[in-house]
Amino acid sequence: MQRFLVLALVASASGAISCGETLPLVGQAPDPRDTTVRQVVVTPVAVGLTPGGQVQLGVSIDAGAGVTNRTVTWTSSDTTIASVSQTGLVTGLMTSRTAVDGVVIITAASNFKPTVTGAARITVAAATPSPVRASK
């Protein structure tokens, strides 16, 4: 009893738990009524692409045992720079005529609780100008 109380006080003082939060007992089964979606994590969090290049993003959802739908909906903040499929495959779309890098945020929103999201920052590199050869 004393060890648990000290641990709870240390955890509370460090901000690891909040007021009114309960700590699960060791070996205790997760509460099937817990429908809290705590976090959506997208990996990697930052990627550089070239026009036409692709990267597969990953996603993990930290949620209670009662969350039955652990899928996400993917969106792009600017589909002229990069698109994203519903499997998280990102494709750089800028054309070779683009002179500046494009930055887009790809977001994964929990389908169980759409206000909980994770994101990745995608930079699509500007086209590199072709070298000009001097004529002889």
d(C-alpha 42, C-alpha 120), whole Å: 6
| H/E run at residue 41 | strand 37-43
- Give me the pLDDT at residue 100, please: 77
**Closest by alpha carbon to 106, among 125, 82, 126?**
82
- Confidence band (pLDDT; 50, 70, 90) for 17? very low
Q: Where are the domains of the chain?
A: 34-124
**120-18-14 Cα angle (round to 5):** 85
CA separation, residue 87 to residues 7, 62, 81, 124 (Å): 42, 18, 18, 20
At 19-72, the pLDDT tens digits run 445 555 666 777 888 999 999 999 999 999 999 999 999 999 999 999 999 999
Residues 61-102: tens digit of each pLDDT: 999 999 999 999 999 999 999 999 999 999 999 765 656 789
Architecture of domain 34-124: Sandwich (2.60)
